[in-house]
Amino acid sequence: MRVGFIGLGSQGAPMARRIVDAGYEVTLWARRPASLEPFAGTAAKVAGSPAEVAAASDLVCVCVVSDADVEEVTYGENGVLARLREDGVLAVHSTVHPDTCRRLAERAGARGVAVVDAPVSGGGPAAAEGTLLVMAGGDEAVVERCRPVFETYGDPVVHLGGLGAGQLTKLLNNLLFTANLATASSTLALGRALGVDPRRLGEVVAHGTANSFALGRISAAGGTLDRIAAHAGALLRKDVGLVAELASADGAAPGIVLDAADATLAAMNHPR
């Protein structure tokens, strides 16, 4: 399988590098030439546009930031869909609205192209180690075709159901993570008020039943949300907002998890 990759950021770049190192024929495109510099001297080829990536690929992986970015690199005469061959696959690793993937699948289907939504969790370090969590939605046979590529950077790779199921799962994961940040940070703050050093408290709780990934991130950041807010606040606000929108549209009550997530966003000065 020939693989194209678009979106060489802090997470996408190590994902693409894992595919290259696994021996696949890989074609890359990036908005910024600097993003391509780490691939100099590798077997990866560089294309002049997303359409050129598609022309050289059987599977194109997209790992850009937003819904608008996904649409920008897939639609139009220079977009992926303009030249991805019939029976090709487009995998959306970005975290976006499920409807964005469904609209994309509609247009792709008219060209005989399949779409898989496959958002990931774990960040750049996990991508480099090949241990990203890949949450895939779409036709099972198509996901299985892509699995060997996904497994170069993902472990586990989980098929969750029809198109959009991966995005929904990732958004719910991020909602709970955001909520956990509020409960963890407020617990450390209460400990400080009661005379318990927050670093020591975090170290102890990390070995107890109340441990969480969120607690570990806050403890590593000195017991505050400041560092997380700086690099992830806007993205978490986007994802929590998407979940709230989806719940409202379906008439589903999100419950206290949304209240806790909103408390985190407010504390980070990123209210939705």
**Catalytic amino acids?**
170
Q: Which residues pair with 134 in a beta bridge?
A: 120, 157
Q: Are 130 and 22 in contact (CB under 8 A)?
A: no
- The position carrying tokens 């001297």 is 41
- Helix axis angle for 67-74 and 98-109, nearest 10°, is 10
Among 16, 41, 226, 220, CA closest to 130 = 16
Q: Please tell me the distance from the alpha carbon of residue 76 to that of residue 51, in angstroms, as a whole number.
A: 9
Please name which of 186, 216, 221 lies closest in space to residue 202, comparing C-alpha atoms.
Answer: 216
What count of other Cβ atoms lies within 10 Å of the Cβ of residue 69?
Answer: 17
Distance, C-alpha 74 to centroid of its chain: 17
